Structures are given as C-alpha cells and as structure tokens.
Amino acid sequence: MTLWIGAAVAAGVWLLLLFSMAMATKTPDVKPGPATGALGEESPALVDLITGGWRLTGEAASATVLDLAAKGALAIEEVGPEFSLVRLRREPGDLKPYEKLVYDHVRSLAVDGVVATGALAEGSRDIGRWRKSFRKKVIVEARALGLSRMRWSKAQAALLWVTAAGVAVMVGIAAEASGFAADTPDSEGSPGVAAGFFCLLLLGGLMSRLNGERGTKLGAETAGRWLGVQKHLADTGRFGEQPAASVTIWGRHLAYAAALGLAPRAVTSLPITTTADANRAWSDYGGMWHPVQVRYRSRRFWGRKPLTLIGHGLLAGMMIGVWVFIGLGFATAYDLWPQALLVPTPLLIAGTIAAIPIAFTIIDYSGNTVIEGQIVRLRVFGESSGDSPSNPSYYCAIDEGRSREVDAFGLSAEHYGPLSEGDRVRAVAGRKLGWIRNIEVLERARPRGTTYDDTGEHKIDAPEHLGEVKVIPGRTRNEDTEDEGGVRPADLVTPADIKQALGLDVGPAEAYTDTPVLPAVVRIRSIRYRTATGTTVDVHAGTGRRSRTLMVLPSALSRAQGRQIKGLGINAMLHPGIVSVVTDQGTFMIHVTSASGPPSSDKMMDLAHTAAERMSRLPQGRR
Amino acid sequence: MITLIVVIVIVAVLALMIVSVYNRLVRSRNAVDNAWAQIDVQLKRRYDLIPNLVETVKGYAAHERQTLEAVTAARSTAINAQGPADRAAAENALTGALKNLFAVAESYPDLKASRNFAELQEELATTENRIAYSRQYYNDAVLTYNNAIQTVPANIVAGMTGFTARVYFQAPGEERGTVQVRF
C-alpha cells in the first residue's frame, strides 16, 4: 500500500510539473488590434496558423490557391453555376515551399493547363501525408520569422520524459510488489513491467497531447494585428457569398478572407485538402474535366461472381418460398387463399427469385460487353472499417464518356491490384450482374500529385500530438559493409536489370551517401545507380524482421497512396517510383527518382520480380 | 366520413407531390438558363476580341482580304444567330474562320512576333477553352432537365405546366461531346 501511495504521489507531482510547464510555455495572450485594411507581409497560410491558435486549418491550402491566383500564377474562371476552372498562367517564379506544393498539385492535375475546381480533390497523393507536409512547410516559415516555436524545448521534453519514466518505475515496483505477483503465473511475464510500461505510455500520451506549436511574443502581436484585419474585412466585405472566381476582383483580400474564416463559399469550392468523394468523381476522359456520379449498387444482385449470385438467388428463393408457404398456410386455414394454390404459389415465387440471377448470367455471358474508358474510382469495401477490411469487395467505376452517371462494377482482387485511378482500360463485363470478367490496361494514368520535393522540412520536429513521422539523421554507410548476414543490394539489382526493365543506362553501383533511410539498428544496406542525366535508382535491402520496416517508407517518400501487388513475395507495395517487397529471405525497396517523373507501374514491377527471384536464389551465406 | 378523410389525404399527398415535382423542374430549368447565360458571356468575350485581332492582322497582311472578311462575316452571323442549334453552327463556322486566319498568320513572321497578336491569340485560345467547358456544362444541364421532364411521373406535371424540352448547344449532325479547338 505504501508503495502505491508513493507512486500516486509521484504521479501527482509529475502532473503538477506538467501543468506548471504548460502554463509557463503557453502562447502569450493575443489581443485583437484595431480594425485595419492594411494587409501585412505574412502569407494567408501563415495568417491561418497564427490566428487559429497555432493550428493550421483546412482553409490554409484553399487560401493559398486564392493567393496564387491573386498573384497571377493561377487564374480561377467561372464557367457555370458553382463550376469554375483553375488555369495555370505564367511561370510562378519563386514560390515558398508550401505554395509550390499547392502549385505542383494543381499542375499535376491540369489538362491543357486547366483543372476544374472540384477536381482538386482528385489525384493519387496520400492526402494525410500531403496535409502534414503542407503544415510542416508553413511551420518552418513561421519559425524562421520568429512567429512560432515548439512548445517545449529538448531540455524540457527530456525532463518530462525522465520524470515520467521515474513515475512509471515506481508504479511498476508497486505493481510487482503488491498482490499482482501472487495472482499471476510466472509464465505470463512480469505484471510490474507491464504496469510500468502502460503508465509510461499514459503519461507520454498526456505530454504529447499538450505539446505542439505555440506562439512567440512577436507571433502574438502579429496575430493581434491580423485579427484587426479580420474585423475590417468582416465589416466591409461580403466575402461569405463570394465564389472563388471573384479573386479576379478582390485579389489578395479574398485569399486573406479565406484564411481568416470569412469566405466559406470560396474555400468549399477549392477542395484541395479534401479526400476524394467515393460517389462524386471528376474525370478528364475525353480531354476535359467533367463530374461523374458513381453508384455503388446493393450487392444483393450486383458486383459479385455469377456463381455466387446464383447461389445467393437459390438460397433467397428457398427462404422466401418457405416464408410465403407458411404465410399462405395460415391464409388457407382461414379460407383467405385457395388450397389448390398453397404449394404452387410459393414455388412460383421462389423459382422466379432464383431465376433472376440465372437469367442475368445467361444474358451477360451470351454477349461480350466491352467497356472502354478511364477508371475514375477504385474502392474496397468490407465488413469492418480500417485499412484492411475483412471480406473485402472490390469496385471499379469506368467513365466511358457517354454518361455522367456510372455504376461501379465488382471485380476480383487479382484484377483490382494492378489498377490505378486514371488508367485507360478495356474491360469485359456483364451489365446485368455488374461483374468484370477481364480487364486490360490500355494506357497507364499519367502521374498526378505524386512525389513532392520535401527535402529538409520533414526533418523538423513539429509534432501535432502523436503519430508524426520523424526522419532521424544518421551517419552514412558503405554498401560493402562486411558485417554478418544481410543481403547485398547489388546482388538483387544489376545495371543490366535496370536497362532491361526501365530502359535506363546506369553506371556501376555506388555507395548510398544520402541520409540513411532507417536507423542503423535496422541494418539495411543501400546502393545507388545513376544515369548520365541524373536519374537515380536506389536499392535498399535487408534481412530479418526489422528489415520489414522498409515497407512503411514508400508512403513517406512518395507522399502518395500505394497499392498492394498480389503474387509477389509475401507482401508487396507499389508507390509512384517506389516498389517494396517482403520475401521469406528478406525485404527490399527500389526507389527511382527522375526529373521526368516515375517510371510506369509495369516497369517497376518487372524490376521487382527480377529482384525477388534473385533474392530467393541467393547463396545461403548471403541471407 | 372515413372515405372522405381518405380522399382528402390522397388529394393532399398528390398535391404535395405535384408541387415538389414542379419545383424540381423549375430549378432544373433555371440551371439550364443560368448555364446558357454563362456561354453567352464567353461568346461575347470572343466577339469583342475579334475586331482587335482583325485590325492587328490587317496591319501586317492587308492583302489577305478574303480571310479577314470571312472572319468578320462569320462573327456577324454568330452574333445574329438565334437558338442553341443555329448558334452552335455559327460558332463552329467562326472557329473555322479563325483557324484559317491563324494559319495564314504563320506566313508573316512580323505578325507572329507582334506582342499584341500573341496576346490576342492566347486570349482567344483561353476563351475557346472556356466556351468548351461552358458548353459541356450547359449540355449536361439540358440533359438533366430533358430527362426530368420526359420521365414518368414528372412528364405529367411538365405537360400540364408547359415545360418543353431544350435544345443542346451543338450544330446539327455534330456528336454531343467535347470539341477541342487548338490554334
């Protein structure tokens, strides 16, 4: 009991320490300044940060689009009710990193220099990573201008962690020494360690919740001045009703109004940080952006394999037939239904229901319906939410250019894996049952919103509570390290393989001298191949379970959503320009960086297959 | 008594349905009108640019009278055209005349180097692009509206209240689709 009291007191003292540090490091009070129409030097994204309690909102990116339009790098043109175009204008010149991120995204989507505003949500980027990248870039600038800083310094954070560890140790000792040990068999491990670990996690979580970005004195003064601008804009301009295209008239005032929360209509029409809607897609098939409504029909008689649907139809017919028979039995007992029809009626109903999918199957298979168009949506739905739904159903919606409403067809996982939104395809499908029997990619999607130049910013420590990705700088390593075990990347991918798969002439393997992709403890070997034009092919490989950490890097490096590849190793993921594969022998990742964009998926997969096969044939000593 | 109540309820529900359908058709029709107004704005923009273009070209290639007159005549025809189908045909003819004009301009290096000409050319290309998108939007709105007034049961209300089908903005014989014009 004494130990528990001691642990409780220690926890209380730690909480007091945390609270006092939080109070000491909170942002200075922001006093709104007098109303003024004079705009400052800070960009709308910065203004969004400092006037929003040092938390960036979704308006910041939309405000940046408006600001780029006001400065002439883009143009927003209204061509219909709630339908506007974003047009690339002159070369943007020097842009700030977050402005470049936004501009590059618009440029990646543009067809003939134009993208519909609604289509800003499209593209293959990883939206979560994109938002994080945008936020970090804004914070870098805010810190450089002295407007913002991390809440706790390294020393303060270290003090909190060390004291939290002390509390966790006391809790662990108390748990170990108390009756827990008596009740827990030895084979289940130490309850004290578990209790201490849990306590540390809890305290660390609490500390992280209070951590984040905070304002400096200068930042608070600047925020106050901008709140005065907000008051002036709110009193004098009716920005709430203005569409995005009115930036032609209002200029930068509209961009700042958006950042200050005064232009919701303009912000809503620029969904640059919004996840693409599963039901409303934008397609550029045919050369012009247009909206396409995607319907996901009920899976009762749609989107499944024909045999499955026939089985379901038989089962449904049988069950309904039984219930109808029971119901009619009661009706017959009260002379409400003729006795002679008691059996034939449910048989007829059951037969009709069972015959529907059979008839549809015959119709679908008797004619070869070919659908040619562009994939606008690929979705996986399952019985549980999350990244890996159980019993997943795969859907593919194809815009044929003939209708603004399309039905999403069902297809198998094997067909779904290699597809990307934006691919031009030819599919053999049944329009009655909605099942794609075969699909062929005619032309791969052009890269959209893929790799963003993010050197430098992602190394800053700018946590927004838990879950931030930090790249840990470390010493460089020679790829010929003679430590035991491991796999040599040069044995997996040779210049001849790169030439065959990617068509690139590379020199001999060089040591990888960039910042190591993972800490030394993970024991990954890396090499680089280089072409005369500057294209690089990095190969990273390792053995053991830790090497599987390579699988999480491609998302961070490419800032895009990857897709799983079936039939390659135990697990394989393909991102734009990056393929990572886990095999029984180890894990490897191949990263191609080129000024002209990433290679096509087919080429990356060819190279990955070669490397995987070579990994399986490595001599035993090299594994 | 009960029969009367049932009849009143049925009539009330029917009336509500009719009002709801009517309002939907009105909104759909207004969307078409609005979309047409947007096309009009872009077309007028093009009409305003053409005289300046003709004068600029005349300064360098005065003897290309036939081509210049064709452009001027096509512009007049387009301005005076009535109705979406006629107007689409006239606009297509004007686009063709402009393409000929720009093709002729290729033979005059001084004209091609003229900043005014280059700006006009870019502005016209941008306007063509906006017209294409406005046209697409208008045709989509017309499709939605025509579907609404021709499908059961809205066609009953449409017939009673005078809603008629609208014409697409496309020349007779032209497929209803995107037309990319590049100079």
Question: Domain residues of chain B, as ranges?
Answer: 2-161
Average pLDDT over residues A226-236: 93
Cβ within 8 Å, pair B137-A114: no
Q: How far apart are CA A204 and CA A217, in angstroms?
A: 28
d(CA A493, CA A471): 26
Task: Mutation target for A interface from B28, B136, B139, B146: give the one with most A CBs within 10 A.
Answer: B136
pLDDT at B5: 93
Q: Report the greatest alpha carbon distance in chain B.
A: 91
Nearest CB to A288 within list B38, B141, B178: B178
Mean pLDDT of B1-15: 93
Query: What is the percent of chain A with per-residue pLDDT over 70, rounded to a whole number?
Result: 87
Rg of chain A taking only CA atoms, in angstroms: 30
SS3 A298: coil
Pairing of strands A405-411, A290-295: parallel
User: The complex's ipTM?
Assistant: 0.82
Distance CA(A83)–CA(A89), nearest Å, equals 19
Flag whether pLDDT at A191 surpasses 80: no
pLDDT at position A388, please?
Answer: 55
pTM of this prediction? 0.70
Q: Is the pLDDT confidence value at B180 over 50?
A: no
Residue A188 pLDDT: 54
Distance CA A559, CA A108 (A): 14
Q: Using 50, 70 and 90 to split pLDDT, how confident is the model at A467?
A: very low
Give the residue from A307, A315, A408 showing the smallest Cα distance to A362: A307
- In angstroms, the CA B151 to CA A216 distance is 64
pLDDT digits (tens, 9 = 90+) for A151-188: 878 888 888 889 999 999 888 888 888 755 555 555 45
Report the run of H or E that residue A311 belongs to, with start and end.
helix A306-333
On the 0-12 / 13-18 / 19+ scale of CB atoms within 10 A, B124 is buried
Residue A400 has pLDDT above 90, yes or no: yes
Q: Kindly state the average pLDDT of the residues A534-559.
A: 81
pLDDT in tens, A270-281: 999 888 889 999
B175 in reach of chain A (CB within 8 A): no
Better pLDDT: A457 or B160? B160
pLDDT for residue B114: 85
Residue with tokens 């009762």: A300
Predicted confidence (pLDDT) at residue B183 exceeds the cutoff of 60: no
User: Looking at the partner chain, which of B35, B42, B133 has a beta carbon nearest the beta carbon of A288?
Assistant: B133
* Gap between the Cα atoms of B165 and A462, Å rounded: 59
Q: Which residue is closest to B126 within chain A, CA to CA?
A: A87
How far is the CA of A36 from the CAs of A33, A224, A234, A584, in angstroms? 8, 11, 11, 66
**CB B178 to CB A79 under 8 A?**
no
* Chain A CB within 8 Å of residue B133 CB: yes
Q: Report yes or no: A287 at the B interface, CB cutoff 8 Å.
A: yes
Cβ neighbours of residue B14 closer than 8 Å, sequence gap 6 or more: none
Residues of chain A found within 8 Å of residue B35, distances taken between Cβ atoms: 80-81
In the prediction, which pLDDT does B27 show? 93
What are the φ/ψ torsions at residue A14 (nearest 5 degrees)? -65, -40
Question: Residue A117 corresponds to which tokens in the numbers above?
Answer: 């505003």
Does residue A392 carry a pLDDT above 70? yes
What is the pLDDT at residue A516? 65
The answer to whether residue A259 scores a pLDDT higher than 90 is: yes
pLDDT single digits (tens) A319-333: 999 999 999 999 988
Write out pLDDT tens, residues B149-158. 999 989 999 9
Specify the amino acid at residue B96: G
pLDDT of A189 > 70? The answer is no
What pLDDT shows up at residue B178?
A: 42
pLDDT value of position A623: 41
Quote the pLDDT of residue A234: 92
CA distances from B85 to A208, A291, A414, A560, B174 (A): 65, 24, 48, 45, 10
Residue A453 has pLDDT above 70, yes or no: no
Please say whether the beta carbons of A281 and A408 come within 8 A. no
Q: Which residue has the higher pLDDT, B169 or B178?
A: B169
Is the pLDDT score of A367 beyond 80? no
pLDDT, position A472: 36
Closest to A64 measured CA to CA, from A31, A41, A96:
A96
Picking from B40, B44, B126, B138 by the largest number of A CB atoms within 10 A of its own CB, the best residue to mutate is B126
Q: Indicate the pairing of strand A571-575 with strand A510-511.
A: unpaired
Tell me what the pLDDT averaged over chain A comes to. Answer: 84
Contacts of B140 in chain A (CB under 8 A): 290, 404
Query: Are residues A350 and A317 in contact, defined by beta-carbon separation less than 8 angstroms?
Result: yes
Would you state the CATH architecture of domain B2-161? Up-down Bundle (1.20)
- Average pLDDT for residues A35-44, to the nearest whole number? 91
Q: Which of A450, A549, A79, A461 is nearest to A289 (CA)?
A: A79
Distance CA B44, CA B130 (A): 12
Report whether A78 contacts A171 (CB < 8 A): no
User: Which pLDDT does position A25 carry in this prediction?
Assistant: 82
Nearest to A406 by CA among A359, A438, A371: A371
Report d(CA A100, CA A102) in Å as an integer: 5
Task: Please list the alpha-helical segments (H only) found in B61-165.
Answer: 65-80, 84-105, 109-113, 115-150, 154-161
Beta bridge partners of A294: A406
Helix H, strand E, coil C: the string for A478-524 is CCCCCCCCCCCHHHHCCHHHHHHHHCCCECCCEECCCCCCCCHHHCC
